[in-house]
Each structure stands twice: as C-alpha cells, then as structure tokens.
A and B are shown apart, each in its own frame.
Chain A
Amino acid sequence: MKLAASSVGFSFNGQSPVLEGVDIEIDGGEIVGLTGKSGRGKSTLGKILARHLFPTAGKVLIDGAPYGGQGFNPVQLVHQTAVFAANPRWKVGRIVSEACTPDEGMCRTLGIRGEWLDHYPHELSGGELQRVALLRSLTPKTRFLIADEVTSMLDPIAQREVWRALIRICAERNIGILAISHDLALLEKVASRTVWL
C-alpha cells in the first residue's frame, strides 16, 4: 500500500498558506521521518494525511485513489497531546477498545499496565496516555500511522521501548509510519529517510 500527498496546500480561513504544493509518499512497512522548523506545518500535514483536516488544495491518495471517507480510516494519527484525544468521561479500558479489542501482545509491547484500564484519562500521566493512544490506533485494519512527536514527552528509556515496539509492529504488519519529530538523532535511528518541510 502507498500513502501519498499530492500538491497539498493548506491555509486557515484565507490567511497566508501554512502548506503549499507539498508532495510526500509513504510505503507500507517503511518509516519516514518528517522534520523542519516549528511553524512550518508538519503537524498540519500529518492531520491532513489522517483526515483530521481537509486540504485547501491538492489530494491525499491511498494506492492512487482518494479515500472514500466511510468506515475505518487506514491512516491513523497519534500526536503529542494525547489527553485531548480521549473522552474525559470514558475509562481507559473503554478508550482502547473503541476500534477493536486490543491483543495481549500489543499491550505488552507498548508497556501498557493492566491497572491503567480502570482509570480515567486525567488520572494518567502524559507518557502513559501516549501509549494508550498508540494502542488504540494500532488496530489490525491500520495501514499507516502518523506519529506526531509521540515520544517527545517520554524519558529516553520509555522512548526507546516505544520506538522498538513501533519498529517491530511496522515490520510485522507492514504498516507505514510517518514519524514527525524535532529530534534529528531519533529520526536518524528509526527512519529510513527523512523529509524536510
């Protein structure tokens, strides 16, 4: 499978464009890094690829065809502030099962502790929530993961564990990952190539 952005442009309400004529391609099974100065639109591009935002110009194509919009979106987005991506009235156990029941192996790989499932999102720390968000989005139907600064809030040991898990999952399930980050050393370690915005 191939995820591609073709001449994508985006601007807020007629102001000067945040993105202009951007092309990017991600194949299943590869990890592509995306970096650049802050304010250049990296997160915006990530949101457009995952259909959290719609581009004002250009298209997002999966295997050459624009995505229909129905059913499970094979492109999932997880980003830095996971706390807002969780319904504050749902317990964590319910949150992770929203798309599908998570399997044991995945839970262990991402370091999810059983007692978290009984808590509410605001009772977990940022790092713990991040892992919960990743678990929720990595369903069998997920083909691409947009990881926007997913480990920047984690300490180095946790960061290593999560990326090791993501690399393994990427290889096992042939998922394409777009890793958006400021940390060039990290991208050098995990991504096969890096795109600069």
Chain B
Amino acid sequence: MSLLAIEGLSVSFRRYRSPVRQVGVKCVSDISLDVYPGEVLALFGASGAGKSLLAHAVMGLLPQNAIVGGVMRFEGRLLDRKEQARMAGSRIALIPQSVSHLDPLATVGQQLRWAARRARRPMASAGDMQRTLARFDLEPGVSRAFPHMLSGGMARRIMLAMTTVCQADLIIADEPSNGLDAENTAIVFRWLKSFAEAGKSVIVISHDLAATLQIADRVIILRDGYVAAHEHADAFDGDGKRLLAPYARSVWKALPQNGFAEVEA
C-alpha cells in the first residue's frame, strides 16, 4: 500500500487583476501520484511548474487565497486539514528551500529541540543533541550558532537533522541542492538516500535532474502544472531510448552532459 496517495490534485489562487476584480489562477492541475515506503520519488520540473506548490499542499502550508481540489490520503486515511495538522512535523516532514525558513532569532540547538517537541519526541539530554548533530558531521558547538552564521551546506544539514529528529515516515525535500556546490549536493543527496534505505519515503523536488537521478527510483516530470512524464530513474540512460514520454527524452538530451542536444520531433 502506498504511504501517500494523491488523486487529481489541483491548486488555484484567487488573485486581483485590477483593484476590484478577482480571478482564479490555476497553477497545478489534476496531479495523481503514489509514494511507497523505502523509495525516492523525484519531482522534477522548471521553476513555476508547480513542484513546491504540491509539497505545500501536502503539508497544508498553502496561503489563504489558495483553492485546493482533489483527494490526498496518507496511509489510507484522508489527509484533510485536521489530519495535516497532526501529521505535519511528526509523520510528514518538509525540508524547506532555504535557511531563511529557520527562525533567525533562535539558535540551531533550540530549533532542533523545538522540532523534537513538536513531533512529541523530545530530546532527553545533551547527548541526544550531540548524537543528532554528529550524524550529519556537525560539531556540538554548532548548536549555539544562529542560522545566519551557517554556510549553505551546514544549513542544509541542520534542516536534515531537524527531519531526523522528528522521525518522520515521509520526507519531502524542497530543492535540496539549491545554492550548494557539487560536493555538498552529493552529501545531502546521500543522506536523503539513506532515509529511503531505512524504510522511509522520500520525495525530492528539484530542478537539478542530473543530481536527482543519482538517488531517485522513479521520476515524475511536471510541466506548467501538469504531469508530463512518469518514468523509472534507470530509463534516464545513454540515449534516453527507454524513456516513454517525448518530453522526458527532450529534457534528458538537453542536459549539458548529454551534449545540449535537441530531439527530432
């Protein structure tokens, strides 16, 4: 059974076109997907394709003017507002895009403790804190630092630590390679893979196809809010002949590694 099942999800926004008129702007249409335990599902697409919106819809983080349609189920149970409030931060965790999502006025250690408390698994001792940090190659002293003092790589690792602290079953990573160089990206992706290997479900949202393919099992490509392709990760290989959707093939060939090539229609 899938851990998370999404059927026909659509997200629109009420926006003001002029001082008085409101229109509905459709951003995500008719998305259906399943995520199973122990796998990494990659959500790939250009910026504006709706990937982050999907993550926010699952977590219940959409702004007030959002209109959501469709059904979401977590472990078979309907994921409505009440269920989202229970699950978010404890069973479903989101690793946000940037360090600016951390509280700038609290130290890293405090925020880790809060995350643990929110998930109803409070840290018993300083030893817990040290162990959590050490798992991500972070010195114990980091717990006294403020978010703005952290480098991009360290900040990303702190956010990964916050995820492990709440021991979620579904982890959604929103653009985990943003602002990181190749080395740090590889480290972060390895950690995400280790979550899946431990039996969790991981959804990786990224526009960096090459890095994501290193760890993904399946890939869903979004385009302008629609699902344009649904592929197995190992089909992204060589010439891309095994890819089912033409769009997926175009995207694969367009990578600089594959020669910036164009696919004949």
Contacts and interface: CB of A to CB of B under 8 A. Distances in A.
A127 B46 contact: yes
Contacts of B254: 156-157, 159-160
Interface stretch (A19-27, A67-75, A85-93, A180-188): A180-188
Contacts of A183: 256
A106 interface: no
B256 A38 contact: no
Contact of A157 (B152, B180, B183, B250): B250
B181 A38 contact: yes
Nearest to A39: B151
B26 to A, nearest CB: 14
Nearest to A183: B256
Interface string B228-259: 00000000000000000000001110111101
Interface in A149-167: 152-160, 163-164
B47 A38 contact: no
B256 A188 contact: yes
B244 to A, nearest CB: 18
Interface residues of B, number: 30
A155 B207 contact: yes
A165 to B, nearest CB: 12
A128 interface: yes
A113 interface: no
B255 to A, nearest CB: 5
B209 A156 contact: yes
Interface string A13-44: 00000000000000000000000111100000
A154 B182 contact: no
B47 A163 contact: no
A38 B151 contact: yes
B46 A185 contact: no
A102 interface: no
Interface in A108-126: 124-126
A37 B47 contact: no
A37 B46 contact: no
Nearest to B50: A125
Nearest to A126: B47
Nearest to A154: B46
Contact of B182 (A126, A156, A184): A184
B76 interface: no
List the 3 closest pairs (A to B, CB-CB), nearest first: A125-B48, A155-B46, A156-B254
Given A155-B49, A182-B181, 7 more contacts: A126-B48, A154-B47, A154-B207, A163-B260, A182-B182, A184-B182, A185-B257
Interface of B: 44-49, 151-153, 179-185, 207-210, 250-252, 254-257, 259-260, 262
